[in-house]
A and B are shown apart, each in its own frame.
Chain A
Amino acid sequence: MIVEEHDVLHDVRPEETQPILRYTLRERVMHWLTGFTYLYLMATGMALFTPHLYWLAAVFGGGPTIRFWHPWVGLVFTAAMIWMYAVWRDEMRTIPEDREWNRKVKLYIENRDEELPPIGRFNPGQKQFYWVMLFGTILLLLSGIVMWFPEYVPFGIRGVRPIAVMLHEIGALVTIGAFIIHVYMGLLVVPGGFRAIVHGYVSRGWAKTHHRLWYNRIVGSGSAER
């Protein structure tokens, strides 16, 4: 599977060559539910954000169609984010080991990972992405509800409507920025990361390189189920 045969030494016990389950099926379904709904929301939102990308509306069925579905898909995305909050909130809290890593984040950007302190199941960058998306979702949901039903906003407080659009755009731009980095890291910077979030498994080398505290914890406990 993930472990390349020629790398395995003969005196290694068989269980030490086994890949490690990094993401359970539940976590993978949860991740891709947020992922695909966010992709749809981003594409249809960009169509309405700038006339230069209005052609994206045609890709997804035309302007009236995306106007109808964008809010509903937004609710699915929100539900998935609430699920993700329930499942990952404890693991996404900053732990003492994160602080030194955070100070040395420049080393991470420059791929000098061996000079960084060992890190748990999620590194501080991943945790920041999680919280940015979570708070972004709250902002996008609240402003989005106003944009969904502007005809019910009394004319006396009509200023709320364009403010909601502005907050929605700010929320979108911030989360899109985080999303670009997230996709780039997962697809290109950390080989094996994408496979992990699709199939669930990582090699022991991957786990030890990128998340050593987590690796030590699960190997020390004798369980490969994180």
Chain B
Amino acid sequence: MPTAALEIKAISAHPGPVPGKGAKRNEGDGVCKLIDVTTCIGCKACEVACLEWNGYPFHETKFDNTYQTMPDLQWNYYNLIRFNEHEFADGSFGLLMRKDQCMHCADPGCLRACPADGAIVQYSNGIVDFQQEYCIGCQYCVSGCPFNIPKFNSMTKKVHKCTLCSDRVAVGLEPACIKSCPTGCLHFGTKDDMKALAETRAAQLREQTAHTNAGVYDPPGVGGTQVMYVLHDIRNPEAYGGLPANPTIPLMVRLWKGPVKWLGGLAISLGLVGVVAHFLRFGPKEAHPIEEVHRP
């Protein structure tokens, strides 16, 4: 990462160790945020921390009779806890709370769909980041994303989403949301460490609680994600505010960015070669000279 060289080694008059010292985050499958929805209390500290770090103001929102801050993510609201009333199999009531943000797919549909050179990058630590200075506002990324994450700013014509605090991670810090979480439901580390932690927690839930179908959400359809969930019921992710059960990059995006691209280019090239070849072989059509016209 460009700012990796600025990682802090020592801090003057700082009580305690240097934050992020010794963090290994560019190795293996990169970094990962783990969200244990079973210990989320819906306090929204992560929403506040996200706004604070990214410098976005609070603004008016829409109340839709839930605890949810607003109905959907916005271009300047990257992180939203989705509150879903849910009836469990035993008839008990529960409030499913899921922190919704960019999943940072290993195979990002947004990046595949984007036509603008440099507008979306994937860092070696797995973070998928939008570079607004190169964004042209076409919103192909919106079409490519299976999680409905990128949001368009109609004033600036740029698309925004969670950066997984790439600027913080670059200097060895954890994302702002992780830092703010009071229950420890948010974890951050390498993908390998988070996978192990998630599996341990899921196994604990299955063995020691009634959530016998607890599991880890790391969808293979998009090559796995740098954001994982531990869910009470892995069989029904849709219950958590529309988390897709098997997200994939739309087939049409794969076709349009794959075979159609080179087949189309080939067809146009062959067309151009074809007309040149035709002209060399047959040449122009000559009109009859004028005499013939007048003496039929």
Contacts and interface: CB of A to CB of B under 8 A. Distances in A.
Query: Which label, helix, strand, loop or mixed, suits the secondary structure of the A interface?
Result: helix
Nearest to A162: B252
A207 to B, nearest CB: 8
B290 A205 contact: yes
B6 interface: no
Question: Which A-B residue pairs are the 9 nearest by beta carbons?
Answer: A63-B136, A162-B252, A161-B143, A7-B290, A184-B275, A209-B287, A48-B115, A67-B136, A206-B287
B142 A210 contact: no
A9 B282 contact: no
B267 interface: yes
B291 interface: yes
Nearest to B272: A180
Nearest to B117: A54
Contacts of A208: 287-288, 292-293
B267 A173 contact: yes
Contacts of B267: 173, 177
A110 B256 contact: no
A180 B115 contact: no
Contacts of B268: 173, 176-177, 180
Contact of B294 (A12, A51, A190): A12
B115 A203 contact: no
Interface string A6-49: 01110010001100000000000000000000000000000111
Nearest to A149: B139
Interface stretch (B47-55, B175-183, B205-213, B258-266): B258-266
Given A54-B117, A162-B256, A205-B293, A110 B282 contact: yes
Contact of B256 (A63, A165, A177, A209): A165
A94 interface: no
B288 A111 contact: no
B139 A151 contact: yes
Contact of A68 (B140, B157, B251): B157
Given A54-B116, A162-B144, A205-B292, A66 B284 contact: no
Interface string B242-271: 100000001111011000110011011001
A163 interface: yes
Contacts of B260: 166, 169-170
Contacts of A205: 287-290, 292-293
Nearest to B140: A165
A64 B290 contact: no
Nearest to B276: A184
B137 A64 contact: yes
B250 A162 contact: yes
A222 interface: no
